[in-house]
Structure 1
Amino acid sequence: MSFNLGVLIPIIALMIPVIALWTKHQQKMAEMQIGATAEQTAEKAAQYAAKIQRLEDRVQVLERIVTDRGYDIATQIEALRDTRRVDEAGPGVPLGLDKNKERV
């Protein structure tokens, strides 16, 4: 059984437009995917930018609080320490724990 070259020529000629259409379709699909990916990336970038802006705003507020001369952190820390010393010296056992009971 031998193939006749005359039969293959029309088949190849008919396949060329089909391949061209398939290639165009693949190219359009790739372009659409690139566009969708670019849009998603832009949305993510906008979300991250908004998040970063909120964090920067919070840091500015914290910096303003810490650098405010009326806000004395060291004095407040010492006041908390003094309060803790008073609580430790006072009677009672915190949170219902009995010092004499063994923990299981």
Structure 2
Amino acid sequence: MDGIIIPILGISCGLLAIFGGVFVKPWFAYRQRKLELEAQLIAEKAAQYAANNGRLEQRVQVLERIITDSGYEVAHAIENLRETPVTRIEKEEV
């Protein structure tokens, strides 16, 4: 009985190594590649958000300059004039 266990263990270890090389190793490579691609997509999205954030900050700075500028009052008055209803003057028939 003891003489048969050693060859069975040897064959089992060989089969396990073959199984690992054929199925497990490619699966780990697949998972690694998938994680790399996901990380790349996340990095691209982060770069897009950073660029968008920069543009928004520039726009806020422009708005801050407009509001703190003394010309804002003039522009605001013009906008108020646009919002008031215009009364029509009927032409007199000649």
TM-score (norm 1): 0.63
**Separation of aligned partners in 2, 1:78 and 1:38:** 51
Distance 1:14 1:48, change over 3 A: same
Distance 1:76 1:43, change over 3 A: same
- Secondary structure of the residue that 2:72 maps to in structure 1? coil
Cα RMSD for the two superposed structures = 2.5
Structure 2 alignment gaps of length 5 or more: none
TM-score (norm 2): 0.68
Report the alpha carbon displacement of residue 13 of structure 1 after superposing the two structures with TM.
4.2
Match of 2:41 in 1: 40
Identity %: 34
Q: Between Structure 1 and Structure 2, how many residues are aligned?
A: 82
Q: Does 1:25 align with 2:23?
A: no
Which is helix-richer, 1 or 2?
2
Write the deviation string for residues 45-103 of structure 1: whole angstroms up to 9, x where unpaired: 0011101111111111111111101221542344224xx33x2x2058xxxxxxxxxxx
Structure 1 alignment gaps of length 5 or more: 93-104
